[in-house]
Amino acid sequence: MFKKITNGCVRVINRWLPDPFLFAVILSIIVYIFAMIATGMGPLKILNAWGGGGGFWNLLAFSMQMACVLVFGSAMASSKPIKSLLRKIAGLAHNNFQAIFVTAFISTICCWLNWGFGLIVGALLAKEVVRRVPSVDYPLLIASAYSGFVIWHAGLSGSIPLALNSGYTIFAGTEREMTFNASTNLTIFHPMNLIMCGFILIVMPFVLYAMHPHKDKVITVDPAILQDEAERVHPKATPADKMEQSRILWIILVVGGFLFIIFNFIWKGQEGKSVAASLDLNTVNFIFLFLGILFHGSLRSYIDAIEEAVKGAGGIILQFPFYAGIMGMMTVANAEGVSLASVISNFFVSISTPVTFPLLTFLSAGIVNFFVPSGGGQWAVQGPIVMPAAATMGIDPGRAAMAIAWGDQWTNMIQPFWALPALGVAKLSARDIMGYLVIILVFTGLVACLGFLAWAAFF
């Protein structure tokens, strides 16, 4: 039954799913047309909103933050201590079930800690596991490694809850300016968010194993895939070479970085903030940057890791300006204060109740994620719509924001954009794993829908 459903979905997705950049282009065109219809403004005014000061280049700082999440997490995952730890964890797997369970369980935890770190760790762990259990279906194992990404936005590197923790302002500089705040205790560490994540963490490996093919249909790994690339060796022939590999400079930098991390939490504590409430994107990136430098053991090794990791950030650099342009077109208002964002917001209010609003927001965010396959980009597009509507209905900003976050991470299971780094490590294509991930999409969607209804009922 599973195979019939997943094979059908794979055929449809492979035929109709274009490159994620095309989604940004298509959505830009759609929003451009509907912005004119909603506001009655002319094409040149909407075009100016797209490319002007409040549009195309309005997310440069945020784009850099998101690129750093991916690059620093990936660089840390490629360090020797992390790889050594993965080999020990892989030693826990002795049969097909244990191979799937260990891979899915660990990758889910790592993605919750940092999505860039988790994406790479999951693929590297899968390669270590399949060395010990060669009978496991390799595409399913890689799907298990990627499936942990389904809770990244509910974790410590989630761009939406971290942005809300720092204070989220929309319509800045206008009469409609609004600022929303919610500490991570009300988002990432909210009991209902943790329950939903915990349930997926425990149950999802069993769902994955239930899809394991029969022995005669198992696709085993190509031994050539398991060969590690040779470690780069740098000479110490010149003073510059010696400086790059200097332990003294490495020690000074590591000590300075971790002293700041410790005292930063102390200073925030003196301001009345808990450790959880002190986490924002900059703090998370700073921690993973210096953990990566520490684990690599030398500045030269870390430079090599960054150069390799930055190859995966091209999509962020290319697509985020288009997301900012979309945001500009959605929020530009006519003389009466009507914008496309306000029209959509009022529609959500008209069909929702305080109980159903987060659920509908989650489902809509899952759809939007097909067009905007980035948490930061989706927040830029949906934040100005959902947050004012939630405020109008008396819904706390943390719950509303997490509905967007869960919707964004949910359909990543069948949106191949973020799977590319893991697929590159595994040397597979998206079509090899997509059928399995359709089932994970259904499973996690049910968990999230029930979770948001319970969030409204009990908290």
273-321: per-residue pLDDT in tens?
666 556 677 887 898 899 999 999 989 889 998 988 888 778 778 888 8
Q: What DSSP string describes 257-291?
A: HHHHHHHHHHHHHHTT--TGGG--HHHHHHHHHHH
When pLDDT is averaged across residues 42-47 and rounded to a whole number, the result is: 94
pLDDT score of 421 more than 70: no
pLDDT of residue 218: 85
When pLDDT is averaged across residues 377-401 and rounded to a whole number, the result is: 85
In one letter, which amino acid is 447? V
pLDDT of residue 18: 65
pLDDT of residue 381: 74
pLDDT of residue 206: 95
pLDDT of residue 429: 73
Q: 412 and 369 in contact (C-beta within 8 Å)?
A: yes
pLDDT of residue 416: 62
**Which region among 135-149, 307-321, 366-380 has the lowest average model confidence (pLDDT)?**
366-380
Beta-bridge partners for 179:
169
| Distance (Å, whole) CA 328 – CA 38 | 14
> What's the full length of the chain, in residues?
459
pLDDT score of 327 more than 90: no
**Which region among 78-92, 250-264, 323-337, 411-425 has the lowest average model confidence (pLDDT)?**
411-425
pLDDT score of 426 more than 80: no
pTM comes to 0.76
| Distance (Å, whole) CA 164 – CA 179 | 9
H or E element, residue 322: helix 314-331
pLDDT of residue 129: 93
Beta-bridge partners for 178:
170
When pLDDT is averaged across residues 443-449 and rounded to a whole number, the result is: 96
pLDDT band at 373 (very low <50, low <70, confident <90, very high): low
pLDDT score of 267 more than 80: yes
- Average pLDDT of the residues of the chain: 84
When pLDDT is averaged across residues 355-384 and rounded to a whole number, the result is: 80
